[in-house]
A and B are shown apart, each in its own frame.
Chain A
Amino acid sequence: MINTFEVEETNKMIEKENLDVRTITMGISLLDCIDADLGRLRENIYHKIYEAAKDLVETGNEISREYGIPIVNKRISVTPIALIGGAACKTVEDYASIAATLDQVAHEVGVNFLGGYSALVSKGMTAADELLIRSIPLALSTTERVCSSVNLGSSRTGINMDAVKLMGDIIKQTAAYTKEADSLGCAKLVVFCNAPDDNPFMAGAFHGVTEADKIINVGVSGPGVVKTALEKVRGESFEVLCETIKKTAFKVTRVGQLVAQEASKMLGVPFGIVDLSLAPTPAIGDSVADILCEIGLEYAGAPGTTAALALLNDHVKKGGVMASSFVGGLSGAFIPVSEDQGMIDAVTAGALTLEKLEAMTSVCSVGLDMIAVPGDTSASTLSGIIADEMAIGMVNNKTTAVRIIPVIGKDIGETVEFGGLLGYAPIMPVNKFSCEEFINRGGRIPAPIHSFKN
């Protein structure tokens, strides 16, 4: 039988160390909503999502009450809208009107984000894909809860450099369209290489075409729990350090598995995956950077950071994999800047640069995430940063992403405030040298060789 020590340990994790389930995300396929008439298409989308997700928020709250574990977000991901709107949409306004429908239904079922205003263009763009991408600035500036993502490359197909170039412009435009709100639109827009079909985390969540009609995916969190566990093994060897991370990740993931199973049962929707990520928030003690400091670094970004992050990421996976029957999504440590107080401190102290962050992304789960740069950064420079990140993902067979915010009207030394879970960020300096001729070449970078790994 369960003993007092075990009950206390669990409750301490929840109450003092910010253990929570970060998100229950319901994936909903919209393929059966497709219609050549825009009005009917929007109506179909509204009804399908509303019917599937009307109990999602209440179910999440009920599970939270029964087990005493906070479930922070309830969200929805849908089939990439470029595929759904292809037949009906002839203009960017047509596509943006679908975003308006998504925003409306997100409000009505009470979810805080809905992801899937997306296009998958890793090899080439259809006319519909391009139209959707061009509609992103309008869609994100006229909606509140819709998130957008674009997959620009993969290890199997290479990198679509035409789309990379286009996305540099689109990010700039989105920043300009939402300049009154510190370019907040860009915080809801992410580009990927090797985007997973079952990611429950925003802004990159979408419901892949290989998925079932409806699915429940759960993302756990718990950087604070890992940090507290590591405080007890200060000065010990790497063996002890890694074992501690594994055991802690196991416990954290078990909670995610339980919540996913319960939600799946109560909603009558199959359980998809648990995403094993360590997802920070701006709350004190809920930081991945603090774990890196606990491992032995003065600040995140100091020499040794990449190695520390690599071992953290790997052992979170090793511990978590056995705790869940299905693991998927992004799974690993997230290193967003604005959403992590430790990262913000490291940037402010001058310990962490964009280049070091790029190196860190080659060993962890996501990529350059929630990074604010000066508003006058050129579109081609943004494309260059994206291309570098895509290349890391393509060559290493992993997911990488870029969520970068050129904050219009702000420069290095200033701070931008996004509010809530998105946090705040100091504006980071960007390398000033040009890559314009490289980006302007056009075409695509071929897939890498999958042998002779050195």
Chain B
Amino acid sequence: MKKTIITVVGKDTVGIIAKVCTYLADHGINILDISQTIVQGYFNMMMIVDTNHMDKKFGDMTEELAMLGESIGVVIKCQKEEIFDQMHRI
């Protein structure tokens, strides 16, 4: 399974999760895990998603999610899981 880590960081507002999840659902991306916290008004979310059946290229998804983030005032980053695996697992 190809897993991708999506991180969303920014000022908390209504509907961040809804908008991100809608985008993912529309493009065939399955959410495997979500963890989310709010510290001093700052929204911090990490999602692990399965991009095997995604209907677009990785680069396009990254760009579109970044634009979506801009429109709601948060920063959205997508990174393949391997970079974290490599760094934190032997």
Contact = CB atoms under 8 A, between A and B. Distances in A.
Nearest to B85: A2
A255 B83 contact: yes
A62 B59 contact: yes
B46 interface: yes
B18 interface: no
Contact of A68 (B48, B78, B86, B88): B78
A6 interface: yes
B11 interface: no
B46 A68 contact: no
6 contacts: A2-B81, A2-B88, A7-B84, A62-B59, A255-B86, A258-B86
B84 A10 contact: yes
Contact of B83 (A1, A3, A62, A69): A69
Nearest to B37: A4
Interface in A8-51: 9-11
Given A11-B7, A68-B78, A1 B87 contact: no
A90 interface: no
Interface in A228-252: 251
A437 interface: no
Nearest to A69: B83
Interface in B18-44: 33, 35, 37, 44
Interface of B: 5, 7, 33, 35, 37, 44, 46, 48, 58-59, 62, 77-88
A410 interface: no
Give the interface centre of B59, B83, B85 by most chain A CB atoms within 10 Å. Answer: B83
A107 interface: no
Pick the 10 closest A-B CB pairs, nearest first. A68-B79, A67-B83, A254-B86, A6-B88, A258-B86, A2-B84, A251-B87, A4-B46, A254-B87, A65-B59
Interface of A: 1-4, 6-7, 9-11, 62, 65-69, 251, 254-255, 257-258
A78 B74 CA distance: 45
B30 to A, nearest CB: 15
Nearest to B79: A68
Contacts of B84: 2, 6-7, 10
A11 B48 CA distance: 15
A10 B35 contact: no
Contacts of B5: 2, 7
B48 to A, nearest CB: 7
Given A1-B48, A255-B87, A65 B7 contact: no
B83 A258 contact: yes
B28 to A, nearest CB: 18
Contacts of A68: 77-79, 83
A11 B81 CA distance: 12
A11 B82 CA distance: 13
Contacts of B78: 68
B62 A65 contact: yes
Given A2-B48, A62-B59, A11 B87 contact: no
Contacts of A4: 35, 37, 44, 46
B39 to A, nearest CB: 12
Given A1-B48, A4-B35, A65 B86 contact: no
Given A67-B79, A251-B88, 20 more contacts: A2-B5, A2-B88, A6-B88, A7-B5, A7-B7, A7-B46, A9-B88, A10-B83, A10-B84, A10-B88, A11-B7, A11-B77, A65-B62, A67-B83, A68-B83, A251-B87, A255-B86, A255-B87, A257-B86, A258-B82
Nearest to A258: B86
Nearest to A13: B87
Contacts of A1: 33, 48
B37 to A, nearest CB: 8
